[in-house]
Amino acid sequence: MINWYNSYTVYAKIPIDKVEKIDFVSMGEPLETMESYYNRQMRKPDFQINGGYFSWTNGKPILTYKDENQYIINESMYVGIGIFEDKLLYGDSKQIAYRDFISGFPTLVKDGHVEIGHRTDFTRDMRSAIGYNDTHYFLLACDGRREGKLGATHEQLAQIMIDIGCKFAINLDGGGSTKLMYKGRAVNSPTENRAIDNSICIFLKEDNMEWKEPNWNWIWTKYAQVDKDGKIKVQNNDPDIARKNAEKDGYAVWEKATKKRVYPKEVVQNVTETEKPAIVETNTGEKVFLESIKKMIDERLNNLNG
């Protein structure tokens, strides 16, 4: 899912049907690094990118921003990308009841064409962007300052987003905020570990693959972290620590008492009416035989009573 457009532009191309949740999140007070936010989450995002512009004075967004149905600020730049019915949607926050929203400063792509709006910066710089098409979400970081490339202009960034497949896209905060993370690690070359106000998180559906069961005779604690081949890597008694480390290292967590996998959780399919087991009829021959015996007994009883 991680791809390179050129030597200093990296992007995540994420199938929408693999996404469990996308969330625009407000960070800690007043500001927090993406690594800090990631490390303190119980359920960690698979992908994370810095969000919209914020003020160095008060640490709050400076353009329209909405989080969990609440506007943090609602004063300017109403066109952008938000979360509507659990999916990304380009539009006007005054007309659409977004759950979360980030204004595009500027907007980059609309209906597959360059659409630069509210532009004030005509220079090359490090950039971050988010976009989507009918099947994928895109998170992109363009830096290159360490290579003397100085990122991209907004026009160049818009064309890059079209080139990688975006139908709609907006620019996010850039410069030293530019950072794209996968599984808690930066995949671009950020120039600093900047504390920011908000970020965008994408959570993938949990892996439903079959994990090989460990050898229980070699587990002495309550929980064991196990790789996909069933090899025991770490053992401990604290379920929170076990899961946290398993998420980081790509292991599963098995519970000795129940001999079940507790992370990733087993997926139980709902049984529909048509999938319920059919009632098994008694063997036809046996049924005929029993009915004949019953008939004979009834006749004998009638004769005795007569």
The torsion defined by the Cα of 274, 275, 276 and 282, in degrees rounded to 10, comes to: 80
In the predicted structure, residue 34 carries a pLDDT above the cut 70: yes
Contact 224, 253 (CB under 8 A): yes
Q: Flag whether the pTM goes above 0.75.
A: no
Pick from 212, 173, 174: nearest CA to 53: 173
Q: DSSP for 207-263?
A: P-PPPPPP-GGG--SSEEEE-TTS-EEEEES-HHHHHHHHHHHT-EEEETTTTEEEE
| Polymer length in residues for the chain | 306
Q: Compute the average pLDDT of residues 82-100.
A: 96
Contact 113, 169 (CB under 8 A): no
Q: How many CB atoms lie under 10 A from the CB of residue 291?
A: 10
Phi/psi of residue 6, each to 5°? -150, -170
Using only C-alpha atoms, the chain has a radius of gyration, in whole angstroms, of: 29
By mean pLDDT, which of 147-156, 189-198, 297-306 is the weakest?
297-306
Alpha-carbon span 125 to 42, nearest angstrom: 34
Contact 161, 131 (CB under 8 A): yes
Alpha-carbon span 182 to 48, nearest angstrom: 7
Higher pLDDT, 227 or 145: 227
What is the tens place of the pLDDT at every residue in 163-180? 999 999 999 999 989 999
Q: Compute the average pLDDT of residues 79-94.
A: 96
197 half-sphere exposure, CB direction, 13 A CA radius: 21
216 half-sphere exposure, CB direction, 13 A CA radius: 10
Distances (CA, A) of 56 to 53, 72, 126, 159, 288: 10, 16, 18, 30, 87
Phi/psi of residue 123, each to 5°? -100, 170
With pLDDT > 90 as the criterion, what percentage of the chain qualifies?
Answer: 57
Alpha-carbon span 35 to 181, nearest angstrom: 9
Q: Compute the average pLDDT of residues 5-14.
A: 92
134 half-sphere exposure, CB direction, 13 A CA radius: 2
With pLDDT > 70 as the criterion, what percentage of the chain qualifies?
Answer: 83
The torsion defined by the Cα of 229, 232, 236 and 242, in degrees rounded to 10, comes to: -20
Q: Hey, which residues does 79 pair with through a beta bridge?
A: 92
What is the tens place of the pLDDT at every residue in 234-273? 999 998 888 888 877 778 899 999 988 988 875 443 333 3
Q: Compute the average pLDDT of residues 50-70.
A: 91
Please tell me whether the peptide bond between 106 and the residue prior to it is cis, using omega within 30 degrees of 0: yes
